[in-house]
Amino acid sequence: MGFDLAFALSSVPTILGAIGTTLGVAFVSCLGAAALGFLFDMLRRIGGVVGLAIGFVIDFIRSTPVLAWLYFLYFVLPFYGIRLGSLTVGVLGLSLYYSGYLAEVFKAGIDAIPKGQSEAARALSLSRRDALIYVIAPQMLRNIAAPLGNYFVSILKATPYLAVLAVPEMLGRAFDIASETYRYTEPLVVAGLIFLVLALVISHGVKRLERRLLAVGAR
Amino acid sequence: MPMSLFEIWLGILQGLGTTLTVTAYGLVFAVPFALVFGVAQYLTRGVARLLVTGVIEFWRSSAVIILLFVFYYALPVVGVTLSALTVSAMVLGLNAGGYASQAVRAGLQAIPAGQKEAGAALGLSRPAILFLIELPQALIAMSPTFVNTLIQLVKATALVSLVTLTDMTFRAKEIAQVEYNPVAIYTALLLAFFVVCYPIALAGRWLEARVAAPGSRSSGV
Amino acid sequence: MSTQSQSIVDIQGLNKWYGALHVLNDIDLAVASGACVVVCGPSGSGKSTLIRCINGLGSYQTGTLRLAGTTLGLNASETAAARRQTGMVFQSFNLFPHLTVLSNCTLALRRVAGQSRAEAEDIAMAHLEKVRIPEKAKSYPGQLSGGQQQRVAIARALCLNPRLMLFDEPTSALDPEMIKEVLDVMVALARDGMTMICVTHEMGFAREVADQVVFMDGGSIVDHAPVRDFFGPSGHPRSRLFLNTVLKH
């Protein structure tokens, strides 16, 4: 049989047609993971029992596979009468799973700001709110920009997991073609290459961004 | 009679052997790949480095779930028949090895140039400097990263349930077909992975605290 | 009583503990308007802790601390208003790395004093000229040497037009060749009549412009004397011992 290049090329438009779904899922999941991760890190900073509990939740998430979380949400939520589309469940699963990682990104990004920065803001009589908006937040955003970009790539590469929930993203499209034609190799290779190119291009962009931020940020 | 939570958990743990086998077999691919390609990326220049980087990026930057399906379905087409276990271990292992190779390379690059110069001044050959001076320091410094990669590998083995291997995830889905108790089944599945991965994470944290200790052994060599 | 009413800082019986550690022990200190006081002592003697209490960055447990007529720590808005009369310069500069030199200086003018961008920039440029670094206004802190950064930090602190300047070891983090450019700015400021409290080991600076020297050890003020007496033959034996070790290097 071998590899049929013409057939592979003919599958490209169908698979690429789902690139919007793939990128959209990745983007929304990344936002969700960032929001939840930020919340986790803030709650962890409260300390005490709350801090310990949140720390354990983060450890638990990081010790369990994303596939298990997707099954968990997909089958458990309906058991409690919560009926969501598979796309929503997929986005929720990716957001939850990666929030455990982004909580650490926020932790590192905030802890890397020297204590002297907020002290200087206080010595200049800036209000707490102004210190947060003009001194702390911009430095935190700069610290997390590159790791956040790298996690966006990770999330993007995890979107094909949603094929197991029958979400019509690119891997799902590739399997649709495969099951119609009984030829698996070509559509899967095409889907794999598209993901590889996407990941490499975005990673390259993140690296350039990182270099630019470093150039201005030397203390 | 419905299964108790404990019975469900025991049923899932019947897949633990497969999970651990794929992990161990995966390490057989991951460790040599990380060492050889990490060192090669550190030592090579020009076209050779481009080729090395290309191989690393293929395994590291691809979506691992698609890689698994591609090799599972495509290898027989080109006449290579490997068991599902071997294909899974190879794909998951080389993916993890791709990540670890970057830690090896970064660890080698982070060693001060003075170490290499001191080795040369003592009359050591280039391979001797690499194996006796550079690699030991790099591997110790990066050991917490390797532990994290190991956890990622264990978690990635959940994918083998999609190519018919009866790991813990596969067992959970089997049990779900005879028993309608999704809450217990999938909670037990998460717990089963947690029980395997969390001790590794704790060990990694312990390692990190030791490696990060000031005056690490590099100054004493 | 009459000296007290002219004092911008008036500290009586100040005590502070970190757990069991007594870091400030019955501190009494009055600083008159226009005075330049140098605080010195071995590391861990409490001098940085004291200077941080003076503008309310640090807290204390017993005693009273009056800054510009306000007792600190009683009322948050009064404390904040009193702090506005002070400027502080840190050992590690603490410039905001994401803002240009000019924006570092204008931030408080715009957000605290509520001035327009043009007004704030005029004031900031005037102070940057005073510390002789106006040409770096558009640079980022990371592009400056340590001495330049510390001069910017002084300009930033001066922008809100403080009545009292606090210096917390301003030259300790600097390479030797940069210390002088910062001290020159501080000397000029003292000669202009600015009230200053400086934690520093630069005894040349103390000799040149200080009115009084405070020597601290173990959380207490061991010696507090006019500058001539402090360096003279009648100085406190503990201070003389310290001076010998400091002046040797």
Kindly give, in sequence order, each residue whose CB lies less than 8 Å from that of residue C111, ignoring residues fewer than 6 positions away. A126, A127, A130, A134
Say which residue the tokens 């931020």 belong to.
A213
Say which residue the tokens 């308007």 belong to.
C33
| Token pair of C112 as six digits | 């605290």
d(CA C157, CA C49): 19
Interface check for B211 against chain A (CB to CB < 8 A): the answer is no
CB-based contact B65 A160, cutoff 8 Å? yes
Mutate to test the interface with A, among B16, B19, B53, B61 (most CBs of A within 10 A): B61
Give the Å distances, CA to CA, from A41 to A104, A106, B22, B190, C28. Answer: 7, 7, 34, 22, 43
B183: nearest CB among A79, A158, A188: A79
B66: nearest CB among A3, A63, A160: A160
**Residue C65 φ/ψ, nearest 5 degrees:** -135, 110
CB-based contact B70 A192, cutoff 8 Å? yes
CB-based contact A203 B173, cutoff 8 Å? no
**Minimum CA–CA partner of A214 in chain C:** C142
**Minimum CA–CA partner of A199 in chain B:** B61
A138: nearest CB among C86, C98, C111: C98
Interface check for B67 against chain A (CB to CB < 8 A): the answer is yes
**Residue C29 φ/ψ, nearest 5 degrees:** -160, 130
Per residue in A119-171, pLDDT tens?
A: 999 999 999 999 999 999 999 999 999 999 999 999 999 999 999 999 999 99
The set of long-range contacts for C130-134, using a CB threshold of 8 Å and a minimum separation of 24, is C130/C155, C130/C158, C130/C185, C130/C188, C131/C155, C131/C185, C132/C185, C133/C101
Residue B218 confidence (pLDDT): 41
User: How many domains is chain A partitioned into structurally?
Assistant: 1
Residue A216 confidence (pLDDT): 65
Per residue in A39-71, pLDDT tens?
A: 999 999 998 999 999 999 999 999 999 999 999
Chains C and B touch (3+ CB pairs under 8 A): no
| Token pair of A82 as six digits | 């919560």
User: How many domains is chain B partitioned into structurally?
Assistant: 1
pLDDT for residue C3 is more than 50: no
Q: pTM of the entire structure?
A: 0.87
**Nearest-CA distance from A165 to chain B in Å?**
12
C97: nearest CB among A122, A123, A139: A139
Residue C92 confidence (pLDDT): 94
Residue C1 confidence (pLDDT): 40
Radius of gyration of chain B (CA): 21
Chains A and B touch (3+ CB pairs under 8 A): yes
Say which residue the tokens 């458990």 belong to.
A76
The confidence band for C249, taking pLDDT boundaries of 50, 70 and 90, is low
- Per-residue pLDDT, averaged over C77-101, amounts to 93
From first to last of its 221 residues, what are the pLDDT tens digits of chain B?
Answer: 678 888 899 999 999 999 999 999 999 999 999 999 999 999 999 999 999 999 999 999 999 999 999 999 988 888 888 999 999 999 999 999 999 999 999 999 999 989 999 988 888 999 999 999 999 999 999 999 999 999 999 999 999 999 999 999 999 999 999 988 999 999 999 999 999 999 999 999 999 998 875 444 443 32
CATH of the domain at A103: 1.10.3720.10
**Number of inter-chain CB pairs under 8 A, A vs B:** 120
Residue A35's domain comprises 5-217
Residue B205's domain comprises 5-220
Residue A213 confidence (pLDDT): 83
Report ipTM for this prediction.
Answer: 0.92
Per residue in C31-75, pLDDT tens?
A: 999 999 999 999 889 999 999 999 888 889 999 999 988 888 888
Residue B70 confidence (pLDDT): 94
CATH of the domain at B195: 1.10.3720.10
Q: Cα B212–B214–B219 angle (5° rounding)?
A: 110
Helices (H), chain A: 5-16, 19-46, 48-62, 66-79, 86-111, 115-123, 128-130, 137-158, 170-181, 185-217
Residue B213 confidence (pLDDT): 59
The confidence band for A86, taking pLDDT boundaries of 50, 70 and 90, is very high
- Per-residue pLDDT, averaged over C147-156, amounts to 96
- Per-residue pLDDT, averaged over C23-34, amounts to 94
Q: What is the average pLDDT value for chain C, to the nearest integer?
A: 91
Map B135-163 to HEC letters: HHHHHHHCHHHHHHHHHHHHHHHHHHHHH
Residue C238 confidence (pLDDT): 84
Residue C34 confidence (pLDDT): 93
**Nearest-CA distance from A60 to chain B in Å?**
6
**Minimum CA–CA partner of A67 in chain B:** B158
d(CA B159, CA B170): 9
d(CA C179, CA B71): 65
A117: nearest CB among C96, C107, C140: C96
The confidence band for A217, taking pLDDT boundaries of 50, 70 and 90, is low
- Per-residue pLDDT, averaged over A175-197, amounts to 93
Residue A1 confidence (pLDDT): 58
